[in-house]
Structure 1
Amino acid sequence: MTINQLRPSYKDYLWGGQKLKENYGKKTDLNPLAESWEVSTHPDGPSYILGGPHDGLTLKAYLEEKNQAPLGTKGQTFDRFPVLVKFIDALGELSIQVHPNDEYGFKHENEYGKTEMWYILEAEPGAKVYYGTKEPISKEAFKQSIEDQTVLDKLNHVAVKKGDVIFVEAGTIHAIGKGIVLCEVQQNSNTTYRVYDYHRKDAEGNLRDLHIDKALDVATLTPLNTDFEPAEVAKTYENHTKQLLASSSYFNVQKVEVGGSFTQSISKESFKSITVIEGSITFEDNNHSLTLNKGESAFIDAGSQHIKTDGPGTYLSVSV
């Protein structure tokens, strides 16, 4: 079968909650549950093939066994798997942070930079994100605001709601606020430079590390566009609609709402990852059938043909 369900890796960061277990079917003893790494070849949290002839293989091992062919012609131009898809449940606020671009990331961390996109799945009343600065500010003044604990006053606070699309380019000072559940599509990187962490302590009673000098090296300290609109309006097809949420040189993200049955084929240029965010979607290929429920993900090989797709449900599709 050219579509494989994936089993995620989980993270219990101190700001996480219980919603991924309660609302997205995640089964783990971790408490809290902060993140579910759905589509990943990163060594810090790989995803695994679930079921079928490749059951138990990591996604990375599956691609190696297939000589990278499932990535597609464009996917194979990257020197490693290009994306990472995750769910995030922020019961508390995440640290104020920034990610490097590719040049800085490879030089200092031996991995990609981290441009990312958030699709807001749930947002409690008053939920907000930190995104860029209110005014242009020098590195010296920004560093001083960290030291005197006024940094939050320098940041732009933006209210968010379900359905918002937030593109976070490398270099953007940002943080996800409390009361938000989202799906994140990002470059395949786990490099985060923390600027401020509210003086929280981890399970061992230690303050988490900050990375202020590196953060200042890469940060864009200016106000940014906060329209948070999808890249395109939704387009209607037979029994489904497609909407391009974000498009970049790193990844393309579509939201697909399925109202019945239709057949799709995957370009030979790129794989597609599938993450279901509402309902239940069935994919049928060569008499093999796979049903994904809300919170579940899969990987479809590039060049896969005549995949019958049936809902009702909604999924996010990621390609390069």
Structure 2
Amino acid sequence: MELYPLIFEPILKDRIWGGTKLKNDLGKNIPTETTGESWELSDVAGDVSVVKNGTYEGKPLTELMNTYPEALLGSKVYQQYGAQFPLLFKFLDARSDLSIQVHPNDELAKERHDSFGKTEMWYIMQADEGARIIVGFKEKSSPEEYLEHLENKNLIEILNEVPVKAGDVFFLETGTIHAIGTGIVIAEIQQTSDITYRIYDWDRVDANGKSRELHVEQALDAMNYNTTDTKKEYTKVLNTSNIAVDCPYFTTAYLPLTGEANVDKEGSSFTVYICTEGDYTLTANGTQYSFKKGDTILIPAGLKQYSLSGKATLLEIYIS
């Protein structure tokens, strides 16, 4: 495999809650004024990413994984997952509140949907003044209490609303009831899954007067009714990978780059960099590659040594 940083065509999604910040803040060529998501790197069936740079331009991610599984994914990842990409990377622009929802765990998702579960993390890239998210219950709840509040349209009274600012990190294990609030741009890292149980959608209807499907029954046994501690504190040492989230599905580090950082990997996992601020250059095998805010790149596992230089804020993601 020719080893170089891969960048992919964004897969843009129109959403009832979407806006224009993906264009204005991140330079995405959005097709509508209600574009809510940019899928940066995906192996979800029907939404497989396509390379947009270098030798493999125009090739779908699936073809590269089938042709060069270990060089792309890494020895450990290939052994664990085979020739499938286990993570999904997105940017989200919430012009208005997303639905209140929950994601099933691996066992439930496999049984019902033949899919991975959906453990995920959020990095808050931008937040309007007063912005908040909904994560978990205020106090330990129960299916009965939850259903009663849902029926009475006051579910929000028993949910935990958390104010947010740029740089905040939240880790959401499966089963955590949640919603991204109005006025937030998020970088999301999650398992490869598009399984969402929508519980409450603020009584919204689309342009045709139709409301979106709810999954109240399916959510009942997927939900964690205990309180959860989702916010993650992390260090911000310059030119260093500061681990913010470390779970069985992925590790995410915060890398504030000012100057140069040399990277030496062992080849067990691919690495993904999301640029949330600034711009930088990656140098590998004597070649320089330039990236900017809004770029998500995939470093094949076979590319073990390279350097990063510039002034940028990066999220570094791999499977440990």
Bucket of the pairwise TM-score, normalised by the shorter protein: over 0.9
Partner of 1:298: 297
What CA RMSD, in Å, does the superposition of the two structures yield over aligned residues? 1.5
SS in 1 for 2:17: coil
Partner of 2:244: 245
State which of 54, 78, 82 in structure 1 corresponds to 2:81.
78
State which of 218, 223, 236 in structure 2 corresponds to 1:219.
223
CA contact (8 A) 1:127 1:180 kept: yes
* CA distance in structure 2 between the partners assigned to 1:308 and 1:225 by the alignment: 35
CA contact (8 A) 1:10 1:45 kept: no
* CA distance in structure 2 between the partners assigned to 1:61 and 1:202 by the alignment: 37
Give percent identity, aligned residues only. 37
* CA distance in structure 2 between the partners assigned to 1:162 and 1:51 by the alignment: 30
Partner of 1:106: 110
SS in 2 for 1:34: strand
Partner of 2:15: 13
SS in 2 for 1:31: coil
CA contact (8 A) 2:6 2:297 kept: yes
CA contact (8 A) 1:37 1:46 kept: no
Partner of 2:132: 128
CA contact (8 A) 1:41 1:58 kept: no
Partner letter of residue 211 of structure 1? Answer: H
Q: Which runs of 5+ in 1 are unaligned?
A: none
Q: CA deviation at 1:247?
A: 0.5
CA contact (8 A) 2:64 2:72 kept: no
Partner of 1:315: 314
Q: CA deviation at 1:64?
A: 1.5
State which of 24, 27, 47 in structure 1 corresponds to 2:26.
24
TM-score w.r.t. length of structure 1 = 0.94
Partner of 2:179: 175
* CA distance in structure 2 between the partners assigned to 1:25 and 1:43 by the alignment: 26
1:22-171 matched pairs, under 5 angstroms: 22-76=24-78, 77-79=80-82, 80-171=84-175
Q: CA deviation at 1:44?
A: 4.2
CA contact (8 A) 1:124 1:180 kept: yes
* CA distance in structure 1 between the partners assigned to 2:90 and 2:130 by the alignment: 24
Partner of 1:278: 277
TM-score w.r.t. length of structure 2 = 0.94
CA offsets per residue over residues 99-148 of structure 1, 9 Å max, x none? 00000001001110001000111111111111111222221221122122
Partner of 2:190: 186
1:251-262 matched pairs, under 5 angstroms: 251-262=250-261
CA contact (8 A) 2:237 2:256 kept: no
* CA distance in structure 1 between the partners assigned to 2:137 and 2:196 by the alignment: 18
* CA distance in structure 1 between the partners assigned to 2:305 and 2:85 by the alignment: 25
Q: CA deviation at 1:216?
A: 0.7
CA contact (8 A) 1:266 1:272 kept: no
* CA distance in structure 1 between the partners assigned to 2:286 and 2:185 by the alignment: 36
Most deviating of 286-295 and 259-268: 259-268
Q: CA deviation at 1:172?
A: 0.3
Q: Which runs of 5+ in 2 are unaligned?
A: none
CA contact (8 A) 1:8 1:46 kept: no
CA offsets per residue over residues 200-246 of structure 1, 9 Å max, x none? 112433110000011111101122225x223x42345xxx1321110
Partner letter of residue 278 of structure 1? Answer: E
CA offsets per residue over residues 261-280 of structure 1, 9 Å max, x none? 23213321100011111111
CA offsets per residue over residues 184-212 of structure 1, 9 Å max, x none? 11011000001100111124331100000
* CA distance in structure 1 between the partners assigned to 2:287 and 2:87 by the alignment: 27
State which of 203, 208, 212 in structure 1 corresponds to 2:212.
208
CA contact (8 A) 1:101 1:112 kept: yes
Q: CA deviation at 1:22?
A: 0.1
Partner of 2:201: 197
CA contact (8 A) 1:193 1:212 kept: yes
